């Protein structure tokens, strides 16, 4: 993660929490204590935050600052970012001009936006950050479901059974996951499961984007079984036994080269 991005995330976290310890920031940003202490010192010297014993405080005392792109979204986006980007590029290559597709919210699927400029698509997405990017940078027809904005996940979720998604039909749905294995496709946030299952019903094929660190990883909830997955896009660091398992379940496995991460 670049220093300027990490320091912006520190400010975002402090604006949301008012205070954070060095330990808390190292865990959230996947950085060393020495790096976080150095960032805190620099930000404090420039007057952007207040350095205190064991951590830092926000200088914005009146109210919590709400960022349209939350710190958890940015942190997840930076993990294995180059490999995720290659996986997202391969996913975008599956789209053909005139297709109607569904792109579920997430850091991996967000990266697809960069590679979707060569075709014209009809896109339904519950990711307001992806919708914003595509609106500014492409001519795609973008549809958003109704509902509330959840900043931490960067998505829109509807609390109603019936919304605009039931009138949309897509050839493919693209979705990331915190884990996929013999047990199926996993999800860690219960808020997302209902939305993902609802979107899945509106698509002919389900395409899962998962770097090799996600293969075999368990999470709290199962979104769907392997029988419901049509395509898995992963990287060359994947366990061959797991890949064989996916192929035995008639999943088309597409592999990109694993990037050398920073």
- The string of pLDDT tens digits covering residues 212-246 is 999 999 988 999 999 999 999 999 999 999 999 99
Select from 3.40.50.880, 3.40.30.10, 3.40.50.1360, 3.40.50.300 the CATH code of 80-256: 3.40.50.1360
Show me where the domains of the chain are located.
3-67, 80-256
Give 207's DSSP letter.
E
Kindly indicate whether the domain formed by 3-67 is annotated with CATH number 3.50.50.60: no
104 and 246 Cβ atoms separated by less than 8 Å: no
What integer pLDDT is reported at residue 262 of this predicted model?
A: 46
Q: Within the chain, which residues score under 50 in pLDDT?
A: 68, 262
The predicted pLDDT at position 3 comes to 80
Per-position b or e across 156-166, b if 16+ CB within 10 A of its CB: bbbeeeebebe
* pLDDT for res 237: 94
Which pLDDT tens digit goes with each residue over 82-110? 899 999 999 999 999 999 999 999 889 99
Q: What is the pLDDT of residue 261?
A: 56
Instruction: List the 203-209 sheet strands across, edge first.
Output: 141-143, 122-125, 100-103, 170-176, 203-209, 231-235, 252-256
């Amino acid at each position: 993660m670049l220093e300027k991005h990490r320091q912006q995330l520190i400010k975002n976290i402090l604006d949301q929490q008012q205070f954070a310890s060095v330990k808390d920031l190292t865990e959230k940003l996947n950085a060393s204590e020495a790096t976080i202490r150095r960032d805190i010192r620099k930000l404090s010297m420039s007057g952007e935050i207040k350095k205190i014993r064991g951590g830092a405080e926000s200088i914005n005392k009146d109210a919590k600052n709400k960022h349209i792109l939350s710190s958890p979204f940015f942190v997840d986006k930076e993990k294995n970012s180059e490999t995720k980007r290659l996986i997202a590029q391969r996913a975008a290559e599956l789209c053909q001009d005139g297709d109607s597709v569904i792109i579920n919210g997430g850091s991996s699927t967000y990266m697809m936006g960069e590679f979707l400029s060569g075709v014209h698509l009809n896109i339904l997405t519950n990711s307001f950050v992806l919708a914003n990017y595509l609106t500014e940078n492409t001519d795609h027809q973008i549809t958003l479901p109704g509902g509330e904005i959840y900043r931490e996940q960067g998505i829109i979720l509807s609390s109603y059974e019936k919304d605009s998604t039931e009138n949309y039909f897509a050839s493919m749905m693209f979705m990331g996951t915190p884990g996929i294995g013999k047990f199926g496709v996993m999800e860690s946030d219960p808020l997302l499961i209902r939305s993902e299952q609802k979107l899945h019903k509106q698509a002919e094929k389900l395409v899962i984007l998962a770097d090799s660190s996600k293969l075999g990883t368990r999470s709290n909830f199962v979104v769907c079984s392997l029988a419901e997955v049509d395509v898995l896009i992963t990287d060359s660091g994947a366990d061959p036994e797991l890949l064989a398992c996916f192929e035995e379940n008639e999943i088309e496995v597409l592999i990109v080269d694993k990037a050398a991460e920073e």
